[in-house]
Structure 1
Amino acid sequence: MITGFRRPAQGLRPIGHNDRVDSKKGRRSQALALLGTLVVAIGVTAGIALWVLRADARAGMSEAVKTGGLAGAAVVALYGVWLNDRRRRVEEDRQHVEEERLRADGARISHERFGRAIELLGNDADQVRVGAMHALVGLARSTPEYTQTVIDVLCAYLRRPYFHSAYENEAHDPDRNDYAQPLLRRLTEDEAADDREHQVRLTAHRMLKELLPPVGAERTYDLDLTGASLEYFNLEDRAVGTVLARRATFYGITRLAGAEFTGNALFTGAVFRGRVDMRRTRFTGGLSLREVRFSEHANLSDTAVANFADLRWIEPAEVRMDGAAFDGVVRLNEQAETESDVAAVAD
């Protein structure tokens, strides 16, 4: 018994039927065109030969036939030129159709890869989620149109609520926590789950930096890290578009040295639990550090902000701004208006 077979719907034609019909019509039209060309060539040959005989009584039959034959050959040659041009156009059209089909297949495969990776990203197993992130990055590299989408997915993952026990004791440098040392006791299930998720999030951090282009790139990508918990966040020497990091918490050293932000960088309400290295950073748009809390030293030396700078962070804060340059509107705390700050703004 044959199962799973369904009779084709009435009126449907087998695949390739139209192609075969078009091919038969094409061959028939070519045959008719060739026959017509031969008839015209014979007629031209005969007509020219008769015309030569009538126009010049001294011309012999052979001379008249030769002249008529040349005219007929010219007609056949013109047909050959037309036929070659038609074949070329048909081949170009066929190649264009094939390229469109390949592009459509590639887009379909990319959509399937993306959908499968998103499904795996929600898997309970941490190693599966790590593999899904690598699959997404591979998709972004092979299909650049997906780069911003993949970055958005990684940022969304980092925005998920998360807190590791290392942040309680060593927020300024979580790697110094006991969990980074050789295990001296068996971890509880919750501690082990936190560690596994910790490794997944560190992978997301690394993938983000790998996807961002170096400084000077024409195309930049945006980051939305609103409320995210970030650890050893590193964008050194990367070109970034707009960054939204409102109310984000940064654990460990935050490295933004040499980076270039072509859009606004908004860190409003963020908390930096470790040191901040923002030397030689370029902000083509604006920079907002309003209500930012610095738990450790922050270095903004030689930083340049082109549009606006809101430097009303929460005091006390140890912030160095030697050689910093600000164009446009600059807002400072009353407590922060020291001589060094004013000199930095004046530069």
Structure 2
Amino acid sequence: MHIVVVLVLAVAAALTVLGLLWLMLGEPRVQVSGPLKPGDTYDAIKIALAVVAGVGGVVALVVAYRRQHLNEATDLREYGKALIERFGAAAEQLGADQPAVRMAGAYAMARLADEWPQERQMCIDVLCGYLRMPHAPDPPTDDQALASWQREREVRVTVLGLIAAHLRNGAPASWQGYDLDFTGAVLDEADFRGARFTGGDVLFVKTLFAGHGTDQIIFDEADFAEGAHVYFRLAEFRSGTVRFNRSETLPSQGAKSRSRALSSPMAPSTSPARSSPAPQSTLVNTISLPSTARHRQPASAVAPSTCPKWPISATPRDSACR
């Protein structure tokens, strides 16, 4: 298709050059019969020059186009090669022994995801995969092991913070709508305040939220669109505080359902402005966000006749609700 366009443009350019030469040199007057005169020869030379100039223009345009096309393809290959090399370097940093290097690798991978939309999901998967790596939820008692645990915890908090920041409106490059797999991850200081889950599969399946203080498991003002599948199946909330203040579910018809504060993974809060600590080591099948901000009880405690309709796809396999 591009070659056809170039040839059409080249022919047009040749005709333009031929017309200019015709105007500059005058209309050739060549006799079709009788002996040739010196003027006829001169006119024939003018015609030959015009034809040669037109053909030369066509060839020059085709050659220029091919050269530009090859240069662009080479630049594209070099750019793709550079992105792949950056991906490998960032992944290598994430696997380094030094916590500072791992933290730098997290920032490098997030930056690469922003600049590489074609493979953004792959970069996000690497960051989520880092959070799924084994990590002790509780600090060890040994001083040396405690220092190592704290450094690793800072790296994990940084990775989770980078992901959450890209889920908020106003991020330089939005990661909203991409898949996020936190299956089996140990998360502390999970601050998804203002995040928008607009699509894709967001898996908190068997995730352990191990807050070591107050207000560290936060989904305040988070938006859960109907197109997103957010799963909290068998998630465990251990200590800390669980908050879903002013979080909203967004049905497809555009109506918004605002939830009250969720202070505990097993019982609804009666106050929209205050949250209380979650019970120790509570196992939760699912957490959903209907307008009343009720919590799904374990499967054995839910009667089929009382099952509400949850706006978020989070029905467990062993639940009595279908």
TM (norm. structure 1) is 0.58
Given that 2:205 and 2:233 are in contact with CA atoms closer than 8 Å, whether structure 1 keeps it comes out as yes
What residue ranges of structure 2 are gaps of 5+ in the alignment? 1-27, 253-263, 273-283, 294-300, 312-322
Superposed CA deviations along residues 118-162 of structure 1, whole A, max 9, x for unmatched, are: 112111111010011111112222222231111101111111222
Choose from 82, 86, 110 the match for 2:83. Answer: 110
Q: What is the CA distance between 1:50 and its match in structure 2?
A: 5.1
Q: 1:86 to 1:298 in 2, by over 3 A?
A: farther
User: Does structure 1 residue 275 correspond to structure 2 residue 234?
Assistant: no
**Aligned residue number for residue 155 of structure 1:** 128
C-alpha separation in 1, matches of 2:74 and 2:99: 37
The alignment status of 1:244 with 2:203, answered yes or no, reads yes
Identity value in percent: 25
Out of 64, 79, 99, the position equivalent to 2:52 is 79
Q: 2:223 aligns with which of 259, 270, 274?
A: 259
Q: 2:109 maps to what in 1?
A: 136
For residue 153 of structure 2, the aligned residue among 198, 212, 218 is 198
Give 1:295 shift.
5.0
Alpha-carbon contact 2:94-2:102 (below 8 Å) kept: yes
Query: Relative to 1, partners in 2 of residues 1:79 and 1:135: Cα closer, same or farther, differing over 3 Å?
Result: same
CA-atom RMSD in angstroms: 4.0
Match of 2:69 in 1: 96
Match of 1:234 among 188, 192, 213: 192
- Superposed displacement of residue 111, structure 1: 1.3
The residue number in structure 2 matching 1:7 is none
Between Structure 1 and Structure 2, whose CA radius of gyration is higher? 1
Amino acid at match of 1:121: L
The code of the aligned residue for 2:247 comes to R
- TM-score norm. by structure 2 comes to 0.62
Which AA in structure 1 matches 2:229? N
- After TM superposition, the structure 1 = structure 2 runs for residues 1-347 of structure 1, keeping only pairs within 5 Å, are 49=30, 51=32, 53=34, 65-66=38-39, 69-165=42-138, 188-212=143-167, 214=169, 220-231=177-188, 232-234=190-192, 236-238=194-196, 239-250=198-209, 251=211, 252-255=216-219, 257-261=221-225, 262-273=227-238, 274-277=241-244, 279-282=247-250, 294=265, 297=268, 321-322=290-291, 333-334=302-303, 337=306
State how far apart, in whole Å, the 1-side matches of 2:169 and 2:234 are: 28
- Structure 2 CA distance, aligned partners of 1:258 and 1:109? 36
Q: Is the 8 A contact 2:110 2:123 kept in 1?
A: yes
Task: Check 1:74–1:159 CA distance in 2 against 1; reply closer, same or farther (3 A cut).
Answer: same
Distance 1:241 1:87, change over 3 A: same
> Are the aligned partners of 1:120 and 1:129 in contact in 2 as well (CA < 8 Å)?
yes
Distance in structure 1 (CA, Å) of the matches to 2:148 and 2:310: 50
Structure with greater proportional helix content: 1
C-alpha distance 89-235 of structure 1, shift in aligned 2 (>3 A)? farther
Tell me, yes or no, if the aligned pair for 1:247 and 1:270 is still in contact at 8 Å. Answer: yes
The count of aligned residue pairs is 241
Q: Distance in 2 between matches of 1:320 and 1:260?
A: 8
Which ranges of structure 1 fall in alignment gaps of 5 or more residues?
A: 1-46, 55-60, 169-185, 285-292, 302-312, 325-331
